Amino acid sequence: MRKHLDKVEADLVRRAMSGDREAFGQIMERYAGSARRLCRAILRDSEDADDAAQDAFLSAWVKLGQYDPRRPLGPWLMRIVANAAKDRRRRREVRRTDELSESMPSSQAGPDRETDRRLLEAELQDALEELPVRYRAAVVLYDVEGYSHAEIAKIIGVPEGTVRSDVFHARRMLRQAMDDWKENWK
Amino acid sequence: MNQDQDKELGLALKRTLDPGDNRVFVSRVLARIDTAPMAPLFWDLLSSWARRGIPAAVMIAALTAFLLALPRQPAANLEDTLVGGTDGGASLFTSPGPPDAGPIANTP
């Protein structure tokens, strides 16, 4: 299955490299979710995150000729995404969003699954806010997107040992937040 | 792909960071691509040339400067270079008789 997917992706990349915009659109559909999540983890603002993800895909389109088709596309693309998010973060002071507090349910809300889920998300949002940006990127790439330590090291541009350490510390802090939520709401 | 993902944490984070529908986003980026010129080939070509061309040009300039800076020696005279007899090398061409191989043949 994975081999088949890789073959499909290789064909999409080959077409996109020869200027096929539709093929690039299909590549974007595959990676848009990962790219936007990573940008959200780094920037903590959904508008900034989508602008950064857009910059990244435009940059990838321009740089597609530099991509080595023998290597997996994901890490190459996510590196461009991480750099775009970091650039935007440097250029613009991240605005704190009020969306979370607006979307948070009141404490009187019923203990249904949707409420539980939203409360956990709010807890995790807060915990993510507390993490250094490198921890956030590392743990999202590892536990959400499934990249290896070595791939993340290339994406973020730090040694593999640093990635291992970042993932460990980020997990510990986020796990603590999840445990607090379980203790309070379950 | 990594083998020891924390699946529970990963899923919770995925939900937390979920941006929703990607179709609008993809359409927006494609619209931007449409308005941009077909940049990939031009800029890639230019940048690939620059990557190789600039170091090559620097090396050629350095080599040229080095060669120009070397002290020049006067060109050696053919007469001086050839057998150091009083007649000089020109006698080889002007003499009606064959050249005398004696000095070479008698050399031990």
- Of A47, A34, A45, A46, which Cα lies nearest the Cα of A80? A34
Read off the pLDDT of residues B8-17 as tens digits, 9 standing for 90 and up.
999 999 999 9
Q: Which residue of B has its CA nearest to A127?
A: B13
- Would you list the DSSP string of A20-74? -HHHHHHHHHHHHHHHHHHHHHHH--HHHHHHHHHHHHHHHHHHGGG--TTS-HH
Distance, C-alpha A32 to centroid of its chain: 10
- Can you tell me which residue has the tokens 């990676």? A31
Torsions phi, psi of A127, nearest 5?
A: -65, -40
Question: To the nearest whole angstrom, how far is the Cα of B74 from the nearest Cα of chain A?
Answer: 52
Instruction: Fill in the DSSP letter of residue B76.
Output: P
Q: Is B44 in contact with A24 (Cβ distance < 8 A)?
A: no
Q: Are B89 and B78 in contact (CB under 8 A)?
A: yes
> What is the distance between the alpha carbons of residues A167 and A155, in angstroms, rounded to a whole number?
14
> What is the distance between the alpha carbons of residues B43 and A120, in angstroms, rounded to a whole number?
46
Size of interface A-B (CB pairs under 8 A): 112
Read off the pLDDT of residues A137-163 as tens digits, 9 standing for 90 and up.
999 999 999 999 999 999 999 999 999
- Provide the pLDDT for residue B41: 52
Stretch A85-107: mean pLDDT? 60
Nearest CB to A32: which of B1, B12, B25? B25
- Provide the pLDDT for residue B89: 59
B39 touches chain A (CB under 8 A): yes
A52: pLDDT strictly greater than 90: yes
- Of B22, B26, B17, B19, which Cα lies nearest the Cα of A141? B17
Structure confidence at residue B44 as a pLDDT band (50, 70, 90): low
User: Which of the pair, A154 or B49, is modelled with greater confidence?
Assistant: A154
Nearest CB to B9: which of A29, A125, A175? A175
Give pTM, 2 decimals.
0.66
ipTM of the predicted structure? Answer: 0.79
- Of A26, A54, A31, which Cα lies nearest the Cα of B28? A54
For residue B86, with 0-12 CB atoms within 10 Å meaning exposed, 13-18 middle and 19 or more buried, which class applies?
exposed
> What is the distance between the alpha carbons of residues A67 and A63, in angstroms, rounded to a whole number?
7
Question: To the nearest whole angstrom, how far is the Cα of B21 from the nearest Cα of chain A?
Answer: 8
Q: Is A63 in contact with B44 (Cβ distance < 8 A)?
A: yes
- Provide the pLDDT for residue A136: 95
User: Which of the pair, A6 or A34, is modelled with greater confidence?
Assistant: A34
Question: To the nearest whole angstrom, how far is the Cα of A28 from the nearest Cα of chain B?
Answer: 6
B92: pLDDT strictly greater than 50: yes
Nearest CB to A32: which of B12, B22, B36? B22
- How far from A49 is each of A155, B23, B100, CA to CA, in Å? 17, 16, 94
Stretch B34-62: mean pLDDT? 71
Distance, C-alpha B42 to centroid of its chain: 21
Question: To the nearest whole angstrom, how far is the Cα of B59 from the nearest Cα of chain A?
Answer: 25
